[in-house]
Amino acid sequence: MIVIMGVSGCGKTTIGKQLAKQLDLPYFDADDFHSASNIEKMKHGIPLNDEDRMPWLTLLANNIQTWDVQGGAVLSCSALKESYRKLLASKSKQVNWVYLKGSFELIQSRLEHREGHYMKSGLLQSQFDALEEPNYGIHISIENTPELIISKIISKLKTHG
């Protein structure tokens, strides 16, 4: 199981989809599992709190368990806090964490040019405020091209098992 994590706008979906294709694994976006009420909050610029996220994280943990049994998957999920990552990994044999890391300024610029997504650039600060960078997993700078990022991820996955 591979989880691509980081704040909104760091490239989780782009990288996750391409990585899954290269590894011949199914791809899932955690955003697709949010409740309607969570999506409404975010559309209106209201950051989610832990209470909002708990049912979503539990659902994802259950799905991760299923995807593990089915041979693995790639999941894009913000997974901003350590407690979220522990819950997500709680039913899995092994989660390979890939943290897409970038500066606030770069990511804000990307969000301001993104269309058709409910997560607006105004919520980015709340994501950085909540972010607890992991001291494990694969850390990748988002300043490279998607192709180079994926190449680095695959190389590191092979190195780290």
CA distances from residue 4 to 37, 139, 146 in whole angstroms, order as listed? 24, 10, 13
Alpha carbon distance 91, 100 (integer Å): 23
In which residue are the tokens 């780290």 written? 160
* pLDDT of 161: 58
* pLDDT of 122: 62
* pLDDT of 118: 45
CATH T-level topology, domain 2-159? Rossmann fold (3.40.50)
Q: Let me know how long the chain is.
A: 161
Alpha carbon distance 137, 147 (integer Å): 20
Coil vs helix vs strand at 130: helix
Alpha carbon distance 130, 31 (integer Å): 17
CA distances from residue 159 to 38, 138, 153, 154 in whole angstroms, order as listed? 38, 11, 10, 9
The domain segmentation of the chain, as residue ranges, is 2-159
Q: Tens of pLDDT along the chain (161 residues)?
A: 999 999 988 999 999 999 999 999 999 999 999 999 998 888 887 878 889 999 999 999 999 999 999 999 999 999 999 999 999 999 998 999 999 999 999 998 888 776 654 454 467 888 899 899 999 999 999 999 999 999 999 999 998 75
- Token pair belonging to 74: 């790639």
Coil vs helix vs strand at 5: strand
Whole-prediction pTM: 0.91
* pLDDT of 114: 61
- Token pair belonging to 98: 């890939």
